């Protein structure tokens, strides 16, 4: 049987031999005492990359987002976020459970709201309405199909937020995908945000970990909240070493994932029964709709399994495909053949 091609997510990558070697050789200490030299090195490195005063290593992207929202707001406030955003859809309402926040949802095109939509969602400072605690944006927008947040629009929202004295958080889980696709620095794409979260454990290929970036004061408070939420880690240097390796070795190669995604999108769009808007494939995520004569998403995914291709249904007629470090260009050819066979 052929080896599995896992297109469910870029979270599934496994650490490579040299990454494991870096982990094995990592110097460690107790990070709750801020004494793990490898964690400290990762935090310094990422702070520099993002042109920020400080950074914090957190176990997951979800915890990173939760820590940021908690630090930026007070209970009873609203978080302006998009209808498709991860913080709204896939974090088990942690903003409500952990921080007493409610989402104020806006419906931007492809996960990227217009400034006018955000402005309309901001509450006036009246004592009898919930205050707007922060604005949370996402780049790339995952469920929109890995779309890059239009830069000009992002800057307009940041300016609007400043004017209204509202902080902005960026869920930049896949900000390196955006940076590589645009040939820009992450510092440039995230300028003006009060805080940023990005993931080491997605396209960058580390097994665990995300980073939070902000001012020194913000990170001091984020460190306290990370502990409060149960995310204080001890000899975490073995994980941070994988993060350092990922940042040193796996950033420019994201281009290959994007090329693979484009190839997949173009070929799948030619198959009768599949709907793919190739124009929208900007990074490593492809949304694939199904229609007659193809079966529904659930059945299609089950059939693909018999060709050793793993894909998850996202709705009755929708699937999401994600390319990553463990999907080669040969795998893409095999996956296309599998789709051709499975839609029949
Ligand atoms: N996304 C996962 C699933 O939860 C959907 C995936 O497979 O794409 N922000 C964004 C934009 C994300 O896509 C994710 C994970 C997170 C935050 C949370 O990161 P983790 O899984 O580390 O908690």
Percent of the chain with pLDDT over 90: 98
The DSSP 8-state label assigned to residue 312 in this structure reads E
**What is the per-residue pLDDT across 142-191, written as a single tens digit (0 to 9) for each?**
999 999 999 999 999 999 999 999 999 999 999 999 999 999 999 999 99
Tokens coding 10: 């870029």
**What is the per-residue pLDDT across 44-101, written as a single tens digit (0 to 9) for each?**
999 999 999 999 999 999 999 999 999 999 999 999 999 999 999 999 999 999 999 9
3-class DSSP state of 157: helix
**What is the per-residue pLDDT across 254-304, written as a single tens digit (0 to 9) for each?**
999 999 999 999 999 999 999 999 999 999 999 999 999 999 999 999 999
Looking at residues 210-221, what average pLDDT do you find? Answer: 98
Residue nearest to atom 7 of ligand 1 (CA): 9
Measured distance CA(197)–CA(217) in Å, rounded: 16
Per domain, the residue ranges of the chain are 17-249, 253-343
pLDDT of residue 38: 98
Instruction: Please report where in the chains the tokens 């040299």 appear, as a residue.
Output: 18
For 17-249, CATH gives 3.40.640.10
Tokens coding 94: 């942690």
For 253-343, CATH gives 3.90.1150.10
**What is the per-residue pLDDT across 186-210, written as a single tens digit (0 to 9) for each?**
999 999 999 999 999 999 999 999 9
Q: Which atom of ligand 1 is nearest to the CA of 140?
A: 11
DSSP 31-72: GGGT--HHHHHHHHHHHHHTT-SEEEEES-HHHHHHHHHHHH
Residue nearest to atom 4 of ligand 1 (CA): 90
Q: Which atom of ligand 1 is nearest to the CA of 210?
A: 22
Residue nearest to atom 17 of ligand 1 (CA): 61
pLDDT of residue 2: 73
- CA 145 vs CA 34, 217, 266, 280, 332: distances in Å: 38, 35, 15, 7, 18
Residue of 64, 138, 141, 142 to mutate, ligand 1, most atoms within 8 A of C-beta: 142
Q: Which atom of ligand 1 is nearest to the CA of 60?
A: 22
What's the whole-model pTM score? 0.98
pLDDT of residue 344: 87
Distance 344 CA to ligand 1 centre (A): 32
Looking at residues 221-240, what average pLDDT do you find? Answer: 98
Residue of 61, 87, 318 to mutate, ligand 1, most atoms within 8 A of C-beta: 61
Q: Is residue 1 predicted with pLDDT exceeding 80? A: no
CA atoms within 13 A on the CB side of 72: 32
């Amino acid at each position: 049987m052929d080896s599995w091609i896992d297109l469910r997510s870029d979270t599934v990558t496994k650490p490579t031999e040299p990454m494991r070697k870096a982990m094995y050789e990592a110097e460690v200490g107790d990070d709750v005492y801020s004494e793990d030299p490898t964690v400290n090195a990762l935090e310094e490195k990422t702070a520099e990359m993002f042109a920020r005063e400080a950074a914090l290593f957190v176990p997951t992207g979800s915890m990173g987002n939760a820590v940021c929202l908690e630090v930026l707001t007070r209970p009873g406030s609203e978080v302006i976020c998009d209808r498709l955003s991860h913080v709204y859809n896939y974090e088990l309402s942690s903003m409500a459970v952990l921080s007493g926040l409610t989402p104020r949802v806006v419906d931007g095109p492809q996960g990227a709201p217009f400034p006018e939509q955000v402005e309309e969602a901001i509450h006036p400072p009246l004592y009898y309405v919930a205050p707007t605690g922060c604005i949370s944006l996402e780049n790339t927008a995952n469920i929109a199909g890995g779309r890059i947040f239009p830069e000009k629009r992002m800057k307009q929202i940041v300016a609007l937020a400043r004017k209204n004295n509202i902080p902005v958080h960026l869920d930049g889980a896949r900000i390196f995908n955006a940076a590589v696709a645009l040939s820009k620095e992450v510092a440039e794409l995230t300028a003006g945000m009060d805080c940023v979260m990005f993931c080491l454990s997605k396209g960058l290929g580390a097994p665990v970990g995300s980073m939070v970036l902000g001012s020194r004061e913000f990170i001091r408070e984020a460190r306290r909240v990370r502990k409060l939420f149960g995310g204080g880690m001890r000899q975490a240097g073995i994980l941070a070493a994988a993060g350092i390796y990922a940042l040193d070795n796996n950033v420019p190669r994201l281009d290959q994932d994007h090329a693979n995604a484009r190839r997949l999108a173009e070929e799948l769009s030619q198959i009768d029964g599949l709907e793919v808007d190739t124009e929208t494939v900007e990074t490593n995520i492809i949304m694939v709709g199904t229609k007659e004569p193809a079966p529904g998403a659930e059945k299609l995914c089950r059939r693909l399994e018999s060709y050793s291709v793993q894909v998850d249904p996202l709705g009755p007629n929708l699937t999401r495909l994600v390319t990553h470090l463990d999907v080669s260009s040969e795998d893409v050819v095999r996956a296309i053949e599998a789709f051709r066979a499975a839609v029949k």
